[in-house]
Amino acid sequence: MSTPHTPSDLANAISELAHERKRADHLQRQMLRLQQELEVLRGAARDASNSRLLAEEELDDTRDRLQLALDAAQLALWEWNLRTGVVYLNARWSEMMGDVAMDAHTPIDDLMDRIHPDDLPHLQQQLGQATNGTLQRYEVQFRIRTLDNEWLWLESHGMVSDQDALGQPLRLIGICADIRERKRLEQATETARAQAESANRAKTEFLANVSHEVRTPLNGLMGLIRLLMDSPLDGEQGHWLKLMDESAHTLLGLLNDILDLSKIEAGKMDIETTVFDVADVVEKTCAPHLAQASGKALQFEVDLHPGLPTQVRGDPGRLRQVLANLLSNAVKFTPEGGHIRVSAAPDGDDRVRFEVADTGIGITPAQQARIFEAFTQADASTTRKFGGTGLGLAISARLVTLMGGHIELDSAPGRGSRFHFSLPMPAQHGRPTDSMPLSAPMELAEVQAQQHTFEGLRVLVAEDHPVNELLMRQLLKRLGCITTVAKNGLEAVAAWQRGGFDLIMMDVQMPELSGLDATAEIRAQEGNGPRHIPIVAVTANAMSGDQEACLRAGMDAYTSKPVSPQALMKSMAQALAAESRWVQGERPQAPSTGAVESKPTRPSKQARSQPTPALDTDKLRRRLGNDPAALADWASSVQTELAGYRQGLTQALTRQDKVQAAAQAHALKGSLASLTAQRAAALANGLEMAARSGEWPLFGRALPVLLSELDTVDKSLQSMRDTDRH
């Protein structure tokens, strides 16, 4: 029989039941939360699995793209394990080596044994720097022996791909490319370049031969015209000779144009730097064209700006050549009644602007694009109607560029043309050295005016060409000289040995013994004695280097054929001045030509150990008459001048101003030579050559050496001032 429940028991039971229900609800909620978390974990697992699959797919795609890229570029992939010394090579490598296309693992030593011996040191250097950690990436070309025993050119690019905790490389990876076709093209290019250089040398030699062969008879023709003009003639004969003279000068101009173009193309055209009067050069250049212009009733205007400097530094000869070419075209292409204007005016700091304008036929835009090309004229009918070769403008444009400017053209058909250019021409103080070439009548007048300068001079003429011999004797006769003729170099040396001559006019190309060898023989026999016979080279060779060859042989001056009286007198004066300097003790070291073996006296050991002084102070004192006051003033002015050159050269280097650097070095070289500072003058000469070729690194290294030598010169000058002051 059960015990009856009391109300209290019933209440407790209800309370316990409610508590159990709460626990059940709590457990249910926990189960639900756990189920949710489990679902989250299951979702994360699914996402991670999907991400891994996607990553693996992306990696596979990347590998596929890399392989496609390697296959497309035909590159061999390699990987070098530095710890094992084994290199993994993909199938492309085996294919290049002439083997079955398959991946391979090869010891590094086996690969290195197949490298060409000439390429192995450089490859080992690159790999060594990569493996010791000093080089992260490298690129190298080398030859490797294939299985067919052929040398295959490869280009390898490599880099460090794995490092240890200390940063030391563990793996290198890279690619190799087959570059044998590139090497074949490089070799073909090199062969073509060598052939082009050979052809260019052949062209230069041909032009040199043509120059000599044409100039020799041309010299005779122009000389005979000159002699005939100095003889009794009637009006008709005089007119014919004038036409012959004009034709001969035209032929000479054409020959000079061809040679100039050849020199420019070969990079051997020299631009001089001398002091001259711009206005004087422009006026004298215009003078010959005024008569031509008046014959066509052309109005000819020369406009010289009043602000033009009186004297500037530049190349008057090349400036005249450019203006003459432009003026010749202006007169040629301007119809009767037209107008020609030539102007020169300052153009900013140390520059002068030149302009030649006309009202001629003009040039179309299409023709302007090629008008400055060699052997090019506006159209084919130009040559038939007006004549010419089309070299003038091409040479003018190149000369302007060499002088530091750029020629420009403004033109339109029927409205004329305007050529203009601006050149660096710094104002200078000094004596102008420019002179104009003269026509035959003017040359004869010049000879007449200068005949007393050379009167009584005993001249040995070494010339094998009978016409040129006649002309040279007649020219020297008009100058009042007494001449003796030698038919070849041997006769010239024998005649000199007999003595009695004040000057030798030495043709360069002669039978038996050339003029260069004859000069070398004479200089060797003279030794270092008190006598120095002045020798002038007379040659039809007018290519670059001919003058230098003559001077190296020991000649004192140079003149080219056709020989003009003006040029002849200038070279004679130059040679006689060289003899005067020799007598005064200024004896240059005779250069060795290799043609004649001489045995100069060997200096003593003591003499060789003594350094050459910066200045010959004794000679400078003698020049100034041992006057202390004059010497002090002179030394002070020289020190100031040298300081200016130092500043100018330093500024030119800073600006990399090629024109200023060459001009300053050239001027300094002349000043130093006159100071007897031969060592410093030689350094200035080297600096000038570096400036002209635009070799600024060399210029920068050479300038401090020259400045140090100038310090020594300055100290010597100061010492002279202090010594003579006391």
Cα distance between residue 191 and residue 199, in whole Å: 12
Confidence of residue 472 (pLDDT cuts 50, 70, 90): confident
Average pLDDT over residues 613-639: 70
What is residue 72's predicted lDDT score, i.e. its pLDDT? 66
Q: Which of 46-55, 145-154, 463-472 has the highest mean pLDDT?
A: 145-154
pLDDT value of residue 381: 46
Percent of the chain with pLDDT over 90: 14
User: For the residues 72-92, what does the mean pLDDT come to?
Assistant: 86
Q: What is the dihedral of CA 575, 580, 582, 585, to 10 degrees?
A: -160
3-state secondary structure 619-678: HHHHHCCCCHHHHHHHHHHHHHHHHHHHHHHHHHHHHCCHHHHHHHHHHHHHHHHHCCCH
More confident residue, 430 or 580: 580
What local confidence, expressed as pLDDT, does residue 603 receive? 33
State pTM to two decimals.
Answer: 0.40
Instruction: Give the confidence band of 47 by pLDDT, cuts at 50, 70, 90.
Output: low
The DSSP string of 543-568 is STTHHHHHHHTT-SEEEESSPPHHHH
Confidence of residue 137 (pLDDT cuts 50, 70, 90): confident
Say if residue 485's pLDDT is above 70.
yes
Is the domain covering 74-178 a CATH 3.30.1330.10 domain? no
Check whether 568 has a pLDDT greater than 70.
yes
What is the structure's pLDDT at 323? 92
Indicate the average pLDDT of the chain. 77
> Is residue 437 predicted with pLDDT exceeding 50?
no
Please tell me the least confidently modeled range out of 108-117, 148-157, 303-312: 303-312
Check whether 116 has a pLDDT greater than 90. yes
pLDDT at 677: 76
Q: Around 528, how many Cα atoms within 13 Å sit in the side-chain half-sphere? A: 11
Q: How many angstroms separate the CA atoms of 407 and 496, rounded?
A: 51
Q: How confident is the model at residue 452 (pLDDT cuts 50, 70, 90)?
A: low
**pLDDT at residue 601 above 90?**
no
Confidence of residue 61 (pLDDT cuts 50, 70, 90): low
pLDDT of residue 590: 39
Mean pLDDT of 36-59: 66
Q: Position of tokens 């002090």?
A: 632
Q: pLDDT class for 4, splitting at 50, 70, 90?
A: low
> How much is the pLDDT for 418?
92
Query: Fold match between 278-424 and 440-583?
Result: no
Q: Is the CATH number of domain 204-265 1.10.10.10?
A: no
**pLDDT at site 610:** 41
**Residue extents of the structural domains in the chain:** 14-69, 74-178, 204-265, 278-424, 440-583, 612-725
Which whole number is the average pLDDT over 480-502? 90
Pure H helices in 97-179: 108-112, 120-131
Region 278-424: CATH code: 3.30.565.10
What is the helix (H) or strand (E) element at residue 51, kind and residue range?
A: helix 7-73
Buried/exposed code over 258-285 (b: 16+ C-beta within 10 A; e: otherwise): bbbbbbbeeeebebebbbbbbbbbbbbb
Q: pLDDT grade, residue 725 (50/70/90)? A: low
In this predicted structure, the answer to whether residue 660 has a pLDDT above a threshold of 70 is yes
Taking only the tens place, the pLDDT of each residue in 271-301 is: 888 888 888 889 888 877 877 787 788 888 8
| Structure-model confidence comparison of residues 674 and 476, the more confident one | 476
Q: Which CATH number fits domain 440-583: 3.40.50.150, 3.60.20.10, 3.40.50.2300, 3.30.70.2740?
A: 3.40.50.2300
CATH 3.10.20, domain 612-725, yes or no: no
Q: What is the pLDDT of residues 182-237, one digit of tens each?
A: 889 988 888 888 888 888 777 766 766 666 667 667 777 777 777 787 777 787 88
Q: What is the mean pLDDT of residues 302-309?
A: 86
Predicted confidence (pLDDT) per residue in 230-266, tens digit: 777 787 887 788 778 777 776 777 777 677 667 676 6
Q: Report residue 196 as tokens.
A: 């082009």
- Per residue in 362-405, pLDDT (tens digit) is 888 777 777 777 555 444 444 444 444 557 788 888 889 989 99
Highest-pLDDT range among 96-100, 323-327, 437-441, 703-707: 323-327
* In the predicted structure, residue 77 carries a pLDDT above the cut 50: yes
Strand ranges inside 308-448, DSSP E: 312-314, 339-346, 351-358, 408-411, 417-424
Closest CA to 615 of 712, 514, 705: 712
Mean pLDDT of 24-51: 70
